[in-house]
């Protein structure tokens, strides 16, 4: 494409001389041209990655201009909202996307695969199930994602502005690349990775009928494409942190099983509590010997996905729910719950935020 091509936004004005000092001095833009000389009615400005043409009597709305800066106090005397003489609204906002603090709206919720039309076609032909429809007030999104056709994935290098993100391979396998983590990583069923805030990554290829469980906190977060970054980019520093979190790659076949925080079960810890400094805790849970007592927890978010087998979920004040593979549930803090009639092949994915929560047996 020719480098001589430019694009500009057209804005109206009633009197150009009123707008000249605002756009040049207040907003710090550069005047590129102005005409006619005897009574100027058209001027073009450039600056902050933008080009504007202001034209007297132009039949267009005045528009809304967003100035992106991570030092807003040094711009326009610290003003966050302004209106130009021509009516253009100016907002000064952070250039770097921020993670909004969301207050969790606690609830008891069960999502059963057999009770719903389960899959929605999303981007790139992927199939999605929303495992927490309310998203607990926007504090979390839990998605069951399926790609029916395997092969290369047309993904670009990108990163997310998140508080926490998990990719758990449920069925099949998927190849991924991560910043400072060397060559392609293949996640097999039962493996998982965290995607620390801002880590560059790209999905490369997937097996047919790949299924993953993806957890994102908060539910709505910004994805940024990095057109200048190339993966793989080498091994880097294995202890590197992104906003206080390290990259965690948990491999099922290397895991050790330990007693779960509720008797009657064992669990393999993924190391994510340590890698996120307590932000989140992820465990895979299996049936063991003995009856499971009732319990309460003090986690802000306590989400569980049934990967295999069957069980009955008992929770005070709620009807018992018979659960099987593909079902999911959320138990709010302080509610008494119990896992009953668990089959020998029961396997659960437990997601807790924070990861250093406490359980009390009842």
Question: In terms of pLDDT, which residue wins out, 114 or 306?
Answer: 306
Q: Above 60 in pLDDT, residue 2?
A: no
Query: Which residue, chain included where needed, has tokens 């050790």?
Result: 256
Work out the percent of the chain whose per-residue pLDDT is above 70. Answer: 98
Question: How do residues 77-114 score in pLDDT, each as one tens digit?
Answer: 999 999 999 999 999 998 887 777 889 999 999 999 98
Domain ranges of the chain: 9-93, 109-250, 254-361
CATH of domain 254-361: 2.60.120.10
Query: Which pLDDT value is given to residue 33?
Result: 95
What's the rounded Cα separation, in Å, for the pair 187 and 290?
33
CATH of domain 9-93: 3.10.180.10
Please give the backbone phi and psi of residue 65, each rounded to the nearest 5 degrees, phi first. Answer: -105, 125
Question: How do residues 127-141 score in pLDDT, each as one tens digit?
Answer: 889 999 999 999 999
Mean pLDDT, rounded, for 20-38 = 95
Query: Which pLDDT value is given to residue 38?
Result: 87
Mean pLDDT, rounded, for 47-52 = 95
What's the rounded Cα separation, in Å, for the pair 63 and 61?
6
Per CATH, 109-250 and 254-361 having the same topology is answered: yes
Query: Which pLDDT value is given to residue 145?
Result: 92
- pLDDT averaged over every residue in the chain: 94
Angle at 13 between CA 12 and CA 18, to 5 degrees: 145
Tell me which of 3.40.50.880, 3.30.43.10, 2.60.120.10, 3.90.1150.10 is the CATH number of domain 109-250. Answer: 2.60.120.10
Please give the backbone phi and psi of residue 20, each rounded to the nearest 5 degrees, phi first. Answer: -55, -50
Per-residue burial over 135-174, b if 16 or more Cβ lie within 10 Å, else e, is: bbebbbbbbbbbbeeeeebeeebebbbbbbbbbbbbebeb
């Amino acid at each position: 494409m020719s480098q001589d091509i430019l694009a500009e936004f057209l804005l109206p004005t009633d009197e150009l001389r009123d707008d000249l000092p605002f756009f040049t001095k207040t907003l710090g833009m550069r005047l590129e041209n102005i005409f006619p000389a005897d009574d100027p009615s058209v001027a073009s400005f450039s600056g902050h990655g933008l080009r504007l043409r202001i034209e007297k009597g132009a039949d267009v709305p005045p528009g809304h201009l967003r100035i992106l800066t991570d030092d807003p106090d040094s711009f326009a005397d610290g003003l966050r909202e302004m209106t130009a003489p021509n009516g253009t609204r100016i907002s000064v906002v952070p250039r770097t996307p921020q993670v909004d603090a969301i207050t969790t709206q606690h609830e008891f919720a069960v999502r059963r695969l057999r009770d719903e039309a389960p899959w929605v076609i999303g981007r790139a032909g992927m199939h999605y199930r929303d495992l927490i429809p309310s998203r607990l007030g926007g504090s979390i999104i839990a998605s069951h994602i399926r790609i029916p056709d395997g092969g290369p994935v047309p993904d670009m290098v990108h990163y997310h502005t998140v508080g926490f993100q998990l990719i758990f391979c449920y069925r099949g396998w998927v190849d991924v690349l991560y910043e400072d983590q060397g060559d392609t990583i293949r996640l097999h069923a039962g493996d998982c990775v965290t995607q620390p805030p801002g880590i560059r990554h790209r999905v490369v290829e997937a097996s047919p009928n790949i299924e993953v469980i993806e957890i994102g906190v908060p539910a709505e977060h910004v994805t940024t494409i990095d057109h200048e970054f190339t993966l793989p980019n080498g091994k880097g520093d294995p202890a590197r942190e992104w906003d206080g979190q390290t990259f965690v790659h948990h491999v099922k076949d290397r895991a050790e099983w330990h007693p779960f925080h509720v008797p009657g079960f064992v669990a393999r810890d993924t190391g994510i509590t340590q890698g996120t400094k307590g932000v989140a805790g992820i465990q895979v849970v299996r049936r063991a010997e003995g009856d499971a007592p009732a319990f309460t927890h003090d986690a802000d978010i306590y989400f569980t996905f049934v990967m295999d087998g069957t069980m009955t979920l008992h929770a005070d004040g709620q009807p018992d729910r018979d659960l099987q593979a593909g079902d999911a549930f959320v138990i709010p803090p302080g509610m008494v719950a119990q896992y009953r009639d668990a089959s020998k092949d029961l396997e659960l994915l437990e997601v807790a935020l924070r990861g250093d929560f406490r359980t009390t047996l009842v």
